[in-house]
Structure formats: C-alpha cells, structure tokens
Structure 1
Amino acid sequence: MDAFEEYLMTNLPEAPSFHPVFNEALQAMLLAGGKRFRPRLLLAVVDAYTPLLRESAYPVAMALEMFHTYSLVHDDLPVMDNADLRRGEPTLHKRYDEVTAVLVGDALNTHAFYLIANAPLHNDAKVALVQELAYSGGIGGMVLGQAIDCWFEGEKLTPEQVDFLHEYKTGRLIAASLKMGAIIAGLDEKMQRELFDFGLDVGLLFQIQDDIIDATESSETAGKTTGNDEDKNSYINHFGLEGSCERADALAARIGERLASFDAPLRRSLEALLKPYLARHKTK
C-alpha cells in the first residue's frame, strides 16, 4: 500500500450517527478500491515541482477521489445506468437501497469540499481549488456531460457532439485533477491551462478505453457492469471497435508527443502514471 492509499484508508469519512448502515455505505465504494487515477494525477504534478507539499495535498487528492466516487454511485442508479456491479462489488443501491445510495453520493460530493476547505494549504490556493472542482465537476464539466448522455440516450449524436459529451462527462474532471495539482504547486496560469488541455486528451483516451472494455470484457473481468451501452452515445456505437481503437491510438500518440514537450520532472512523474494507457490497442 502506498502512502496516499494508506492516508485514504485511515481517513475514511464517518458521520456521527446512530443510522445502522450509513457509515458502512459511505465508506464501501472507497474501500472497494479503484485506480485512484484522478488523485494520482494531482499528486504527480505536486511531486514534480513541490514534493514537500505532497502530504499537504493528500486531503485535496482524497477530495477528488470522493467526488469521483460520488459520480459513480449516482451513475449506477436505476434512474441512470441501472448497474449491478462496481469495483467488483454490488452497487450501493443493490447492497442497501436507492435512498441510501443517493444520500451517500450527496455526502461524498459535499464532503469533498469540506476536505479542501480544511487542507493545510494557503487560503488563496484553496479558493482556486474549490472553484476548479465545483465548475469542472458541475455545470462546466461532469454534470453537464452526464445530462447530455442521459437526455440523448437512444438518439445518435454527431461525432463532434460525441466528443463534446465525453470531454465534459469524463475529460474535464481528469483535466481538473492536473490543474489542481498545478494550483497546489504554485504554477502560473499558462502552465495550468496547458495541463488542463493535456488532461482533456487524457480524459478522452480514458473514455474510449473504457468503452472498449465495456464492449470486450465481461462484468467479472472488468469489475463493473459491462455490455450496458447499447443505447448510449459511446465510441464503440459510433465508430465500432476497430475505429475506436484507431482513435485511441491516435490520441495516445498525441499525448505521448505532448508529454515529451514537458520539462523533465513533470515528464518523469506523469510518464510513470500514464504509460499503461499509451500502449497500442489490438482488435483481434
């Protein structure tokens, strides 16, 4: 277990309550694991420039993971994807009930901002972090993307609209993770924008690869409900498996080129995290 994972596991959210299952449900999807991709992106930027701030950044990294986890809990609900499995475990509405799942998602969302507000960082940085997560995780990103995804289910969008949907639903929170690392590290606005734009490419690649997994792996292998995108505006449904793999490879090449343009500390820090996602895809 690395230091951040240990921090997360020893600082799980807990409510002062006599509710029989709320705390268990609140912690369940965090305990179930996951890639921790978004917090690790943030920490990679901090490690590259201000490693002494790594531990001070842990509450913000954990806030990102909690915010992302809230989105998964809500995404799995019957009113959205109606999924049975997440991170190899039954989804919260299956394990408990829909009310508990909705409220756990709400709690993880709001508690993320509590963690940022109480992080041992300069107040100006904390305001900027709250602004970024609130906008890129809300109407300027993930929530808007989810609204488009649900509204246009069963209706085929244009390729440009598909990219817009997934940039907002997935890409912008990933991009925000890199930008939030840059805020903590005190990087200038130009570098913050550059990392955000880089993160949009990473986010689209991440989404295409997720769509490929949905089309090619069983629920047991993937650890989540798959084969559930028949009516969605997924990349597979628009471009097929081979076309999606080609788009993923083109994006991976562009990300590799942009990665090579970064200075050595940032390049090394991000390469270690991104390398598994930059491999070429095979359709046979």
Structure 2
Amino acid sequence: MQNFENFLLNHLPISKSIHPHYEKALQRMLLAGGKRFRPALLLGVVEAYNPLLLEGAYHAAYAIELLHTYSLIHDDLPAMDNSPLRRGEPTLHVVFDEVTAILAGDALNTYSFEVLSNAPFSDYTRVELIRELAANGGLNGMVLGQAIDCYFENKPLCIEDVKILHTNKTAKLIAASLKMGAIIVGREKLGEKLYDFGIKLGLLFQIQDDILDVTQSSDEAGKLTNNDEAKNSFVTLLGLCEAQSQADELAQIVTQELESFDEKLKNELSPLLIHYINRHKDSV
C-alpha cells in the first residue's frame, strides 16, 4: 500500500485562492492517515488478476478514499456526531469552523467523481466505476444510512432494521470497493459475488467498530469512543456479549467465503482481511 500512499500524497486536492485555509482543510484529513481499507480491497482484486492495471487503479482507489473521507468529515459535524477527534487528529470543524468542514466535505465528495472521470480507463469502465461509487455512496447507499442513523437517535430500532442501517451506511461502500476492482479487470460476474461478500464484510466491520467503541479509549481508537449511547449500535441494542457472539458468527462466515475464492484472489485478500476479521477478539 506504500505505492498507493505515495500516489495519494502526489495527488492531493489543490485549490489556490484568496481563501486562507480552504486548501489546507481539503488536505488535512487525507494527510491524517487512516486504514485505507477500502482502497486496499480494490487494489487487492486488481493485483490478483492484472497487476499491469494497478497504476490506473490507483485513481479509482483514491476516488473511494476521497468519498470515504468526506463522509467522515460530515459524520463528525456538530449536527451529526459532534466528534472532536478523527484519525488521531482534531476534526475539521474544531481546527477551522463548521462552514469550512461542510464545504471541504462537499468538495471531496464531488472531487472523487472528477478523479474517476479522468482515470486512465476506457469510457465504458469509467462510467461503470462512477455508477458503482455513486450508487453505493449516495442517496440509496451511505447517505441513506447516515440519514437513518441520525433520525433514529434515541429511538431504538429492531436488530433487522439496524442491519439495514449499517448495510447502507458502512457495508455498501466496502462492497463497492471490491466490485470496482473486478470492473477494472473485466470480471463483472465475479464483481457481483465480491459485492455480496463485501456486504457481509462491511457488517462485520461495523459490529467490530461498535465493540471497539466501548472497549477502547479515544487515544487507542484515534476518534471519540463511548459516544454511541443514543445511537442504534449493535452493542447498544444487543449488549457487548451478544454483539461479540454475532461478530464471531459473521467472522466465521466471512472466513469461509474467503477460503472459497480462487488462489490468486485469496492470496491477495487474506493478508489484509485476516487482521480485520479477527480484530474484535483482542478487544474484550
């Protein structure tokens, strides 16, 4: 992933203007690091089937990271989670102001599609990638999940509705990352299988995040923890023990599906995913 990190650093959003800190705000949360989990999934699929396309795939991976970063900036806003910390750094509305944070998030959102539109693929591939990112990051994906999450604060949902919430808010962008990798290498049928796998992986990721929220300090997590009491988190609704049990069950399903992939794909994704599949087990 170091090559991708270098690519990101060499392609930070640039906006020269009379504004004293707009460009800094655009770059700040990207420079703060992060797991780069979604780009790694896309690049893992491309590496498995056509490493010659990796250089072009960095553009698509970067587009996903841009969209994901925008979602974090907005998620931390006072109108939403009102979080002071993200990726171990003060959030944008704390460093600058709320207006700057909103606009920086807006800019990274739209810039993600500009990056994709200029990526070195065929017109067909570019359109498919843009469609996939928009469909999963937009009105019937991540944004829908966030809308449900915010509206139902202090209004407990049933567990099936919580899964719908987090399928949209978290899982769909993870699933899209895998599918976009398959689109780049021309394996769209495999992309559907990877998308279904990614939904399960994304739900596991969210359950683990909910567990880590109550078992890690803010310093350990790099973001505000123990702040989900009003939210429809898996731990809030199920309790820690049952959430742990559901994470274990879903981790087993995800592991079995990972083992069913062909050797090339399994060899690329396993080193990345084994850590994430089991990360909740070290937290309690």
TM-score (norm 2): 0.98
Assess if the C-alpha contact under 8 Å between 1:202 and 1:255 holds in 2.
Answer: yes
Name the CA distance, whole Å, in 1 between partners of 2:159 and 2:115: 38
Alignment of 1:157-196 (within 5 A): 157-188=157-188, 190-196=189-195
2:38–2:174 CA contact under 8 A, matched in 1: yes
Quick check: 1:156 aligned with 2:130?
A: no
2:178 partner amino acid: L
Q: Distance in 2 between matches of 1:104 and 1:259?
A: 37
Partner of 1:13: 13
CA distance in 2, matches of 1:252, 1:185: 27
Residue identity opposite 1:145 in structure 2: G
Matches within 5 A, 1:1-284: 2-188=2-188, 190-279=189-278, 281=281, 284=284
Give, in angstroms, the shift of residue 16 of structure 1: 2.6
> Contact 1:74 / 1:102 at 8 angstroms: preserved in 2?
yes
Q: Distance in 2 between matches of 1:185 and 1:205?
A: 26
1:46-85 per-position Cα deviation (integer Å, ceiling 9, x unaligned): 0011110000111110010010000000000000000000
Contact 1:245 1:282 in 2 (8 A): no
One-letter amino acid of the structure 2 residue matched with residue 267 of structure 1:
K
Measure how far apart 1:283 and its partner are: 6.8
> Gaps (5+ residues) in structure 1?
none
Q: CA deviation at 1:2?
A: 1.0
Cα distance between partner residues in 2 of 1:133 and 1:278: 24
Q: Is this contact kept in 2: 1:145–1:166, CA < 8 A?
A: yes
Coordinate RMSD, CA, aligned:
1.1
Contact kept? 1:245, 1:283, Cα under 8 Å: no
Asked if structure 2 preserves the Cα contact closer than 8 Å seen for 1:241 and 1:283, the reply is no
CA distance in 2, matches of 1:132, 1:282: 34
CA deviations on 1:107-129 (whole Å, 9 max, x unpaired) are: 00000000000000111000000
- Contact conserved, 2:212 with 2:283, CA < 8 A, in 1? no
User: CA 1:98–1:244 in structure 2 vs 1: closer, same or farther (change >3 Å)?
Assistant: same
Task: Give 1:140 shift.
Answer: 2.1
Unaligned runs of 5+ in 2: none
Deviation per CA, 1:80-111, whole angstroms, max 9, x where unpaired? 00000000000000000000000000000000
Structure 1 moving runs of 4+ over 4 Å: none
2:216 partner letter:
E
Change in Cα spacing, 1:235 to 1:52, as seen in structure 2 (3 Å) is same
d(CA) in 2 for partners of 1:150, 1:223: 22
Identity between Structure 1 and Structure 2 (%): 57
Deviations 1:118-148 (A, max 9, x none): 0001110000000011110012210000000
Shift of 1:272: 1.2
Contact 2:218 2:225 in 1 (8 A): yes
Distance 1:94 1:9 in 2: 24
Contact 2:38 2:64 in 1 (8 A): yes
Partner amino acid for 2:5? E
SS for the counterpart of 1:157 is: coil
Contact 1:214 1:226 in 2 (8 A): yes
Residue 282 (structure 1) shift: 5.6
